[in-house]
Structure 1
Amino acid sequence: MLAIVGIVVLSSCRVDIVLDVSVDPDGTGTMSITATADADVIQRVPTIADDLVLDDIVDAGWVVDGPTPTPDGGLVITFTHPFEGADEATNLLRSLGPPFADPELGRGESGDVTTNTFTGKFGLPGGFAAFADEELISAVGGVPFDEEFAAANATPADSITAAVRATLPGEILDDGTNGTVTPDGRLEWSVPMDGSILELSARAEQAPSAGGSWARPLSIVALIALVAWVAFMTVFIGYVTIARWRRSRRYHRRAA
């Protein structure tokens, strides 16, 4: 990742990254990462699409779309992964790395109401060094491209943009949500690249749909009917058993 960032930054190019998380009413959903490089990247590194090694990403269950040329001569690639619940989604989010740090997707139920939450602390407080893990820094004796970045006065804010979008089922609650609602109903945040941290938070309450409001009363009626039927059958079987016992006693008396 840092090698790609180094190529982009030192070539005065630009990359836009968008994380999109979509949760369905049943708690399943999909997430995608879309990275778009401008035309300068392709001009300076024409073989970048062929040089990408994505085997590990595909093996981890991500579906890759691209790299595909953009109308303005750039390149776009999208990685998509489904998830079966909040825990799996959180694990996937935390595997992304900077600038998407400490994300968590939550889901809980209280009575008939389901609450969906999305939180995280996103940004690059360590600058370009955030893209390098401790093993890489230890192996090369420092942050790769560190001197080149300093000589070029390069900063993440000059070469990278990042955004987060989320679609949560139910009603978005103002209390607990700090994202901007887009016209299509999604929440959106801009991730700072200047060293500051975005403490992202979103909260939505998902009540039973109006079309299904009949389901709970009907289930209660069905339960009452079942209990009444079991009680009736218990009494009826007991009555038959006692009646047969009495008839048997009368028969034995007559025979005697």
Structure 2
Amino acid sequence: MSEWLRWIVASIGVIALAGCQLDVAADVVVDADGTGTITVTAEADAELVAQVPTIADDLVLDDIVAAGWVVDGPTATDAGGLVLTLTHDFESDKEATNLLLSLGPPFNGADIRRGQTGDTANNTANIALGLPNGFASFADDELISAVGSVPFEDRFAESGVDPATAMSAVFRLTLPGEVVDDDTNGELLDDGRLQWTVPFDGSVLEAIARTEQAPSEGGVWARPVSTLALIAFFAWISFMTLFIAYVAVARSRRSRRYRRRALP
């Protein structure tokens, strides 16, 4: 279990004691060539920090850094809270999928894919968003085995706090190309990103998206230019072959004339 998830679990333990708030956002940006960046941000409000003033010092992120994530924070906010940001680049759709899967709840079952149909690239995304088992969704088998039960289970029962009132989370996605409305159920923001709000009522939202990415303007010109270059290359080879043959024949004729002159 990653320290990222341990921090989430520790935070919700405090949430169970007081009316604190934890906000999480995951942003995935896929560039035109299929590479991109994943950024995850978690912000704890001032009340949560007041309840556990050592939460920043207690956070150990060695395994996350070892996995290639760039960590920024925890950093104090103007309102007295803390914000933690994790960033990781990816080189392929498979790597993006694996990185999202490593985050855990409430971002579950991610699948990012990129395929090609002729000149058009199809970019698709599918991710399950939510906490179907409430706060218990954060407790994996390793953690339950370590502490003997779901963490803070009694506190949740006593306080009546639930994810819907203590947390918020959004998933935002940027895909290259034109959004296919029939295969997309996210909200299209003014900056071109797609956004889904994670439900915390026990349900799971299947976030889906698809874009069709035609060749860029540069790519449109690249094919005919490369074709012309190929034609010119073969024309040059043909010309050089004929030229060499002509020179060889000319030399052969000249040699025969010299031999004839040399005869008595």
| TM-score, structure 2 as length reference | 0.88
Mapped partners of 2:145, 2:76: distance in 1: 36
1:45 is aligned to 52
1:229 aligns with 2:236: yes
1:212 positional shift: 4.9
1:179 aligns with 2:183: no
| Percent pairwise identity | 61
1:165-204 mapped onto 2 (5 Å cutoff) = 165-204=172-211
Whichever residue aligns with residue 86 of structure 1, its letter is: D
Mapped partners of 1:5, 1:246: distance in 2: 95
What is the DSSP-based 3-state SS (H/G/I as helix, E as strand, rest coil) of the residue aligned with 2:156? helix
- Judged with a 3 Å threshold, the aligned counterparts in structure 2 of structure 1 residues 86 and 228 are, in CA distance, closer, same or farther, namely same
1:222 positional shift: 1.2
Mapped partners of 2:112, 2:207: distance in 1: 11
> Which of these residues, 29, 32, 38, is aligned with residue 31 of structure 1?
38
2:134 is aligned to 127
What is the DSSP-based 3-state SS (H/G/I as helix, E as strand, rest coil) of the residue aligned with 2:190? coil
Whichever residue aligns with residue 53 of structure 1, its letter is: V
1:237 positional shift: 2.2
2:3 is aligned to none
Mapped partners of 1:173, 1:15: distance in 2: 33
Deviates more, 1:230-239 or 1:36-45: 230-239
2:21 is aligned to 14
Paired residues, number: 256
Whichever residue aligns with residue 31 of structure 1, its letter is: I
What is the DSSP-based 3-state SS (H/G/I as helix, E as strand, rest coil) of the residue aligned with 2:63? helix
Mapped partners of 1:84, 1:123: distance in 2: 27
1:198 positional shift: 1.0
1:213 aligns with 2:214: no
1:255 positional shift: 5.4
Mapped partners of 1:15, 1:28: distance in 2: 30
Whichever residue aligns with residue 15 of structure 2, its letter is: V
Mapped partners of 1:42, 1:136: distance in 2: 23
Structure 2: unaligned runs, 5 residues or longer: 1-5
Whichever residue aligns with residue 62 of structure 2, its letter is: D
Whichever residue aligns with residue 161 of structure 1, its letter is: S
1:251 positional shift: 5.0
1:240 is aligned to 247
Deviations 1:207-240 (A, max 9, x none): 2233553222211111111111112222332333
Deviations 1:156-192 (A, max 9, x none): 2121111001111121111211100111111100011
Mapped partners of 2:150, 2:82: distance in 1: 27
| TM-score, structure 1 as length reference | 0.91
1:143-154 mapped onto 2 (5 Å cutoff) = 143-154=150-161
- Judged with a 3 Å threshold, the aligned counterparts in structure 2 of structure 1 residues 212 and 144 are, in CA distance, closer, same or farther, namely closer
2:89 is aligned to 82
1:14 positional shift: 1.1
Deviates more, 1:7-16 or 1:95-104: 7-16
1:50 positional shift: 1.4
1:245 positional shift: 4.0
1:140 positional shift: 2.9
Deviations 1:4-33 (A, max 9, x none): 321223322110100001112222211111
> Which of these residues, 53, 60, 63, is aligned with residue 70 of structure 2?
63
Query: How big is the alpha-carbon RMSD for the aligned residues of Structure 1 and Structure 2?
Result: 2.0
1:100 aligns with 2:130: no
Whichever residue aligns with residue 8 of structure 1, its letter is: I
Deviates more, 1:239-248 or 1:11-20: 239-248
Whichever residue aligns with residue 21 of structure 1, its letter is: V
